[in-house]
Amino acid sequence: MSAVQQLTLHLPAWIDEVVDWQKVYQNDEEKMALAVELSRQNVLRGSGGPFGSAIFDCASGKLVSVGVNRVMPLHNSTAHGEMMAIMLAEQSVQSFSLSADGVKRELFTSCEPCAMCLGGTLWSGVKRLVCAATADDARAIGFDEGPVYDTSYDYLKNTGVEVVRQVLRDEAKAVLDAYLHSGGTIYNG
Ligand SMILES: [Zn+2]
């Protein structure tokens, strides 16, 4: 077998059935409702773990990208919902930074990020991070969030990232619980 030197990451085919790319989102609840719906559909359709994310242009309320967890289908431990949304947004704006063009963008995620995704959030250049379910909600069903500390969040805030937590938490937590009860694999518990 020759050495592998390239990979492709892709969202599931159903994304366009769920996402209205033209919609202008008015507030945090509307934006988070999309992230949570993506997490719910990912579980219902069996296309990955119970996590969804979306990145928006803060000023216009327009959607830039979405992501769902693709760890198991893509055989990729880094294919978390947040990372998928970040990578696709950066591809969309053709930059490794989601703020280099002076436009403020924000990441909505159905669950507080793991250690990798909190780092990914920092490097992405988004200026707001909005979370639904808590890290403890994820831990309660067996997921390991890794080394995430209060000081990790302080670091983000000190670099100018606004952090908002527990928007639509109950709705997002219900998806986590449904995933567990449906027998979903806890791949890094
Ligand atoms: Zn993650």
Over residues 96-125, the pLDDT tens digits come to 999 999 999 999 999 999 999 999 999 999
Residue 8 lies in a domain: no
> How remote is the CA of residue 177 from the centroid of ligand 1, in Å?
18
Rounded mean pLDDT, 141-166:
96
Q: Give pLDDT, residue 184.
A: 81
Count CB atoms within 10 A of the CB of residue 86: 25
The CATH number linked to 170 is: 3.40.140.10
> How remote is the CA of residue 26 from the centroid of ligand 1, in Å?
26
Residue 91 clears pLDDT 60, i.e. is over it? yes
How many independent structural domains does the chain possess? 1
188 with 47: CB under 8 angstroms?
no
Residue 6 lies in a domain: no
The predicted model scores a pTM of 0.96
> How remote is the CA of residue 2 from the centroid of ligand 1, in Å?
30
Residue 48 Ramachandran class (φ > 0 left, ψ -120 to 50 alpha, else beta): left
The rounded mean pLDDT for the chain is 96
Residue 54 lies in a domain: yes
Residue 146 lies in a domain: yes
Residue 42 lies in a domain: yes
Catalytic residue positions?
Answer: 82
Residue 11 lies in a domain: no
How sure is the predictor about 189, in pLDDT bands with cuts at 50, 70 and 90?
low
Domain that residue 146 falls in: 23-181
- Express as a percent the part of the chain with pLDDT over 90: 93
141, two tokens: 């069903």
Residue 105 lies in a domain: yes
144, two tokens: 């390991």
Rounded mean pLDDT, 152-179:
97
Rounded mean pLDDT, 70-77:
96
Q: Give pLDDT, residue 1.
A: 63
